Structure 1
Amino acid sequence: MTLVSGPTGPGSIDDFELFYARRALSRLRNLLGRQALLNLLADDLDKGEAFLRESARTSGGAFTGGTTVLSTRGLGAAAFVGWMDKAFADENVLLEAQPEHYAMVGQADGSVHVVENVGPHVCSFYLGDWAAEAMAWAEDAAELLPKADFPFKKATNLFLADGTIVGRVLIQFGDTEGGFTSSLSVYLPTSCSPEVLEHHLRHFAVEFRNWIVAASATLA
């Protein structure tokens, strides 16, 4: 189908739909509030925790990794990383990056409580303190890139409330001519299906694209 005439603003029908979908989702989130939304998701969260816990148990501490790579022009790596460090203090900025972000709440110890999809599962888990130095496990990761090319690195575990490690994240940023490259690696228990990993790589693409767009608009 081709849009022949009518709207005078830029964009395709897909762009229009995305705008209205985001606006409707934002309205519902704001009307419900975080706790009411989590109450609605209670059964899903129980199932999601069972999925992550069983995946960690049957994988015996082993993880499978995958990486999404984004190329950006018009913004430098240092500027984006600085923006992102501040953005993690604003839950609204974090929520708006991905439709399947339900809660992203900073904790007193520097960790972040995250409620989002892992594949088809709605899961509650924690990210460690992004401000900390890259964790020891990342030094041996196959996805670790040369510091000369990717000087901005952050690594953390994903863990349940009781400390059970259910995943890992390694994100790396390096400048290019006129922009920067993002290398975004996620590690899930080996017993997770390839489809679950694939969907999280797509999840990364959506959320980091939107964060980069937001950073560009703020820093322009």
Structure 2
Amino acid sequence: MMTENPAAGPVDVTLTAGPTGPESIDDFELFYARRALSRFRARLGRQGLLDLLAADIDEGNAFLRASARDSGGTFTGGTTVLRTRGLRAGEFLSWMNTAFADENVLLAAQPEHYVMVNEADGTVNVVENIGPHICSFYLGDWAAEAMAWSADAPELLPQAEFPYKKATNLFLADGTIVGRVLIQFGDTEEGFTSNLTVYLPTSCGDDVLDHHLRHFAVEFRNWILAAAADRG
């Protein structure tokens, strides 16, 4: 006798036996996806990735350049907030200062990181997704003087609560400013809070901005976990 097809509800698959450990199927998939991605990055190398993505980068940079022009220099900001337990902001930032010298560590934090390389002039060339667009842009000087534009930003938090602050412009090779980043960290009783703000040209739209807030959540969580793991 055939039973009624339960098609009215959502389908769910649960792992009930087999592999050892507490991980879920999603955890398994993430592990294998990261391992495969790491292999492709290593085999292609930086220049191989740039060659492979050249047409996508041209298209993505054209999108950012047009967005900056159409927005007339105005930006829309959004903020991702992360709360960390068991690690202090100073410990994390000290780790980050070292990590930025190792491209492999930077790339591993986000599947859509393709290139992150320090240039001779002190800038950092980043090739990553901005929304659906693969773009090649530069991070400027993170030093305090680079924060002049952020002094009046509504996202700027009190120094007493968030004493660790960094800001930079995002710009194309031709100097066109296509975004800004303001990151702020403050210790809590249990660890620290990260306020990660990105500003994109207004005409980019909310969807592109929201995707970069998700991008921030993934990369900074992974960097924080890597910092904790290195601390031992």
Q: TM-score range by the shorter chain?
A: over 0.9
Give 1:11 shift: 0.7
In 2, Cα distance between equivalents of 1:25 and 1:130 = 29
The answer on whether the counterparts of 2:143 and 2:167 sit within 8 Å (CA) in structure 1 is: no
Amino acid at match of 2:22: P
Partner of 1:171: 183
Aligned-partner Cα distance in 1 for 2:228–2:53: 33
Given that 1:104 and 1:114 are in contact with CA atoms closer than 8 Å, whether structure 2 keeps it comes out as yes
Q: Does 1:110 align with 2:136?
A: no
Match of 1:150 in 2: 162
Which stretch of the first structure deviates more once superposed, 97-106 or 4-13?
4-13
* Residue 136 (structure 1) shift: 0.7
Aligned to 1:183: 195
User: TM-score by structure 2 length?
Assistant: 0.93
Structure 2 residue runs without a partner (length 5+):
1-12
Q: Are positions 1:18 and 2:30 aligned together? A: yes
The Cα of 1:132 is off from its aligned counterpart by 4.5
> Residue 46 of structure 1: which of 58, 63, 69 is its match?
58
Q: Hey, what does 2:9 align to over in structure 1? A: none
Could you tell me which residue of structure 1 aligns to residue 14 of structure 2?
A: 2
C-alpha separation between the residues in 1 aligned to 2:22 and 2:32? 15
SS of the aligned residue for 2:60 comes to helix
TM-fit CA distance, 1:130:
2.2
| Runs of 4 or more above 3 Å deviation | 131-134
Indicate the SS of the match to 2:203: coil
Query: Partner letter of residue 82 of structure 2?
Result: L
Aligned-partner SS, 1:170:
strand
Q: Which protein shows a greater Rg?
A: 2
Could you tell me how far 1:123 is from its partner in structure 2? Answer: 0.2
Separation (CA, whole Å) in 1 of partners of 2:20 and 2:110? 28
In 2, are the aligned partners of 1:184 and 1:204 still within 8 Å (CA)?
yes
Structure-1 residue corresponding to 2:10: none
- Greater shift in the superposed pair: 99-108 or 127-136: 127-136
Aligned-CA RMSD value: 0.8
Contact 2:165 2:182 in 1 (8 A): yes
User: Aligned-pair distance for 1:110?
Assistant: 1.4
Aligned to 2:171: 159
- Structure 1 unaligned regions, length at least 5: none
CA separation of 1:133 and 1:9: change in aligned 2, threshold 3 A: farther
Q: Choose which of 73, 85, 100 in structure 2 pairs with 1:73.
A: 85
Deviation at 1:162, TM superposition (A): 1.2
Q: Residue deviations 1:110-137, cap 9 Å, x none?
A: 1100000000000000001224544211
Corresponding residue of 1:93: 105
In structure 1, distance between residues paired with 2:94 and 2:144: 14
Q: Indicate if the aligned counterparts of 1:116 and 1:124 stay in contact, CA closer than 8 A.
A: yes
